């Protein structure tokens, strides 16, 4: 009797799934803030209905569920630390509660990865700048995100620079 095996993923496929997980984490954190949903509810919704879903516009990428859960969980459980770090990276006139809610969600997800996970800071920064480009393709936000995340990464992991 043979058992079905999960196909082995290439490094490129794994990277794409982690990238998708980051995008989904930002969307989930934004949605949690705007609707008041719980971590359990939001994770269940995203894993059941968003990962790999097909819409008129095309198919969404399959996300790395473990990476997604870790980002959302760490962002929520370490939100005060991450928000304080983000505030220190922002100019005094623009504290985190005054910035765009999508950027706030992005900084929380990125902050979770920078402070709670083993991802090299330069990788996390590049990945979240790409997420910013997905949400703000025509704007200056990706450059702003790069500057803020660079500041946060230098604080979180100074030995990496």
pTM of the entire structure?
Answer: 0.90
* Predicted pLDDT at 57: 59
Residues 6+ apart with CB under 8 A from 114: 121, 124, 149, 152, 153, 156, 157
* Predicted pLDDT at 2: 52
* Predicted pLDDT at 97: 84
* Predicted pLDDT at 102: 97
Question: What distance in Å separates the CA atoms of residue 34 and residue 29, rounded to the nearest whole number?
Answer: 9
Q: What are the residue boundaries of the structural domains of the chain, listed by start?
A: 14-160
Instruction: Give the chain's largest Cα–Cα span.
Output: 66
Q: Which pairing describes strands 54-55 and 58-59: parallel, antiparallel, or unpaired?
A: antiparallel
Residue segments in the chain with a per-residue pLDDT below the cut of 50:
none
Residue closest to 152 by CA, chosen among 75, 72, 43? 75
14-160: CATH topology: N-utilizing Substance Protein B Homolog; Chain A (1.10.940)
* Predicted pLDDT at 49: 82
């Amino acid at each position: 009797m043979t058992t079905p095996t999960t196909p082995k993923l290439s490094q490129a496929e794994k990277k794409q799934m982690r990238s998708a997980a980051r995008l989904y984490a930002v969307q989930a954190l934004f949605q949690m803030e705007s609707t008041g949903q719980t971590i359990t509810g939001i994770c269940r919704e995203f894993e059941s209905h968003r990962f790999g879903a097909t819409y008129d516009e095309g198919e969404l990428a399959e996300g790395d569920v473990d990476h997604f859960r870790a980002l959302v969980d760490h962002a929520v459980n370490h939100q005060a630390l991450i928000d304080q770090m983000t505030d220190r990276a922002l100019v005094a006139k623009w504290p985190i509660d005054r910035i765009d809610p999508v950027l706030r969600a992005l900084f929380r997800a990125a902050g979770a990865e920078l402070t709670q996970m083993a991802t090299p800071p330069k990788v996390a920064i590049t990945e979240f700048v790409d997420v910013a480009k997905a949400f703000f393709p025509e704007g200056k936000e990706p450059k702003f995100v790069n500057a803020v995340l660079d500041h946060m990464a230098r604080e979180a992991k100074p030995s990496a620079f």
